[in-house]
Structures are given as C-alpha cells and as structure tokens.
C-alpha cells in the first residue's frame, strides 16, 4: 500500500499537508515545523532537529501497525526515520500534540485539526487489514 503526504503549508511552528492512500485523498495532516529546508531528507548545513518541535525529514518510510506503549493502542509507526524514534500517525489538534509524529484530521482551523480521532481509527483499521494480508506499507513525504 502506498501512502503519500504532500506538505503544502509551512508555518513557523507547524506544517500542514494532505495524506493520500493509493492516490486518493484521505485527510489533512499536521506536523511540527519543517527544518529540512532543502527537502533532501537530511538535516545538513544549518538545518538542526529541535526535539519535540521538528517534523520528520522528507523521504520514503516503511510503516507497520503495532501497540504504542505510550498511547496504549495500536497505531501506524514509521520505521527507520533518521534522528527520530517512535514516530506514529495519530490523533491530535495542534502541533503541541505532535512531538515529531504525524497527526490526521480536518484542517478547518488555522494551524490545527478537527475530527482527528475518527481519521486515526479509520486509518489504523485499514492499515491493520493490509498488514494482516502480508502487504508492505510505504509512506512517502514530499
């Protein structure tokens, strides 16, 4: 399965994007500030990660669904993200809820998301089915 996030708005404290599943629009996304300014997938030159305030670098990542000890539920988890551990896709309303993770929902308020929980639940259920069939899941962030 192919997931894709097209980042479309870069603010001082957050990043807004759109999540597509196999080419079909699924939801809006909210992440922390983008610091991979040249969009090459690395923090290089003057680019530096700020813990809890930086979205993950542009690139392609493998996704699995497993139990989050912190959130106490199954969630999509990105694998092998440079400089990051435990990157999840989950519910949340503002960049403060992100801590480097990707939030899903409806971007109907400036810098935030609404109706996030049903999008997380629907995405997690879908990806669990795909994973149970033995299919690989990839997320490309552009």
**Three-state SS for 49?**
coil
Question: Predicted confidence band at 114 (pLDDT cuts at 50, 70, 90)?
Answer: very high
Instruction: Write down the pTM of the prediction.
Output: 0.95
Q: What percent of the chain has pLDDT over 70?
A: 100
| Model pLDDT, residue 42 | 86
Report the alpha-carbon distance of residue 97 to residue 117 in Å, rounded.
13
Report the alpha-carbon distance of residue 13 to residue 33 in Å, rounded.
5
Taking 90 as the threshold, does the pLDDT of residue 83 lie above it? no
> If you average pLDDT over residues 86-111, what whole number do you get?
96
- Residue 57 · residue 37 · CB < 8 Å: no
Q: How many structural domains comprise the chain?
A: 1
Taking 90 as the threshold, does the pLDDT of residue 142 lie above it? yes
- Residue 116 · residue 104 · CB < 8 Å: yes
Which residues have a Cβ under 8 Å from the Cβ of 122 and sit 6 or more positions away? none
DSSP alpha helix (H) spans, the chain:
116-132
Report the alpha-carbon distance of residue 82 to residue 103 in Å, rounded.
19
Range of the domain at 112: 2-141
């Amino acid at each position: 399965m192919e997931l894709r996030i097209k980042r479309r708005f870069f603010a001082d404290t957050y990043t807004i994007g759109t999540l597509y599943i196999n080419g079909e629009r699924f939801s809006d996304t909210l992440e922390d500030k983008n610091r991979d300014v040249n969009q090459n997938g690395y923090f290089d030159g003057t680019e530096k990660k700020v813990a809890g305030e930086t979205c993950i670098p542009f690139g392609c990542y493998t996704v699995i669904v497993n139990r989050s000890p912190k959130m106490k539920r199954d969630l999509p988890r990105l694998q092998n993200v440079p400089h990051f551990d435990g990157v999840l896709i989950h519910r949340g309303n503002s960049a403060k809820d992100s801590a480097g993770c990707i939030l899903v929902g409806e971007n109907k308020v400036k810098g935030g998301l609404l109706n996030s929980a049903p999008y997380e639940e629907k995405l997690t259920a879908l990806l669990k089915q795909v994973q149970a069939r033995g299919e690989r899941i990839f997320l490309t962030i552009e």
